[in-house]
Amino acid sequence: MTTTASRETTPRGTRGLTGRTAVVTGGAQGIGAAVVERLCAEGCRVLVYDKSAEHGESAVARWRGQGHAVALAVGDVTDADALAAAFSGLPADWPTPTLLVNLAAGFVFKGIEATASDWHAALDPTIIGLSLATREFVSRLPERDADAAIVNMASISAHIAQSGYLTYNTGKSAVLGFTRCVAQDLAPRGIRVNSVSPGTVWNANNERYHKEALGLDRATAEAAPEHGGKFLLGRFADPAEVAAPIAFLLSGEASFVTGADLPVDGGYLAV
């Protein structure tokens, strides 16, 4: 009875995101920025938690200039005190956050030669930071009927083996396990937990890599069988194409989806 009443608080035919507060870790650039833009467009208030003050301040100023309710907290996801301060420092008139998108991660690409330092750089943000951000978010929610949702960033690399990617793939594989376990633990509280697994996304970092390391622009890279050609759709994703499924998983339209991973990979994992 209680659960049904809770579901009915979201009007039928709406996404149920308008007026809600979302927290996006790693939200200042790339996919994270696209997620913030999408949630703003859906009518959310958004806290951007990012370790880059430079990128964060620039992005938040732009969004505020567009009339969106966006706040910035600068910090590392592995810093529990900084996370607590970020949640405590939200504007007083904002509702308690009920949406969380965990995007911050360690981007370290090493094989068996990886040192302890490499492993910490790869896994501390991806798994420890993920767990700390999730714990802080959940600690502020009611014990029952929270009507909340979490989306974690995995990757196609969580599902396959890739030479020289041991550190990265291990971290993203752990995100899948974390998502399933936390979904089970939090379901009785009305908190859904899912993940997405994108393929290659054409963001600033990938554009720089393809141009500087490979001498390829986007069109040439997408035409190459070993790059864009490895996806069934024959191209890379735009950040907004990953943000849209994330918004869906956060919304009331995904009210019966939890413990799942959604590939956003242009068909890569299908073959």
pLDDT in tens, 59-77: 999 999 999 999 999 999 9
Lowest model confidence (mean pLDDT) among 8-12, 81-85, 109-113, 139-143: 8-12
Other C-beta atoms lying within 10 Å of the C-beta of residue 7: 16
Q: Residue 61's closest CA among 33, 20, 85, 97? A: 33
Q: How much is the average pLDDT of 121-136?
A: 98
Q: Is residue 194 predicted with pLDDT exceeding 90?
A: yes
| Residue 8 or 47, more confident | 47
Q: ∠115-28-95 over CA atoms, to 5°? A: 115
Q: ∠214-219-220 over CA atoms, to 5°? A: 40
Where in the chain are all domains bearing CATH 3.40.50.720? 17-201+238-264
- Beta partners for 198? 264
Please report the pLDDT score of residue 235 as a whole number: 96
Lowest model confidence (mean pLDDT) among 99-103, 118-122, 157-161, 205-209: 205-209
Question: Please, what sign has the CA dihedral across residues 217, 218, 223, 228?
Answer: positive
The confidence band for 205, taking pLDDT boundaries of 50, 70 and 90, is: confident
Q: Is residue 83 predicted with pLDDT exceeding 90?
A: yes
Please report the pLDDT score of residue 5 as a whole number: 40
Q: Where are the beta strands (DSSP E) in the chain?
A: 21-25, 45-50, 70-74, 99-102, 148-153, 191-198, 261-264
Q: How much is the average pLDDT of 228-240?
A: 96
Mean pLDDT for all residues in the chain: 94
CATH architecture assigned to 17-201+238-264: 3-Layer(aba) Sandwich (3.40)
Q: Is residue 57 predicted with pLDDT exceeding 50?
A: yes
Tokens of 190: 């009305």
The confidence band for 12, taking pLDDT boundaries of 50, 70 and 90, is: very low
Q: Is residue 229 predicted with pLDDT exceeding 70?
A: yes
The confidence band for 209, taking pLDDT boundaries of 50, 70 and 90, is: confident
Please report the pLDDT score of residue 4 as a whole number: 40
Q: Tell me if residue 46 falls in helix, strand or coil.
A: strand
Query: Does 168 participate in catalysis according to the annotation?
Result: yes
| Residue 10 or 256, more confident | 256
Share of the chain above pLDDT 90, in %: 91
pLDDT in tens, 145-170: 999 999 999 999 999 999 999 999 99
Dist. CA 180–CA 155, nearest whole Å: 15
Please report the pLDDT score of residue 7 as a whole number: 41
Q: Is residue 9 predicted with pLDDT exceeding 60?
A: no
Tokens of 158: 């969580």
Out of 165, 168, 209, 268, the active site residue is 168
Q: Is residue 21 predicted with pLDDT exceeding 90?
A: yes
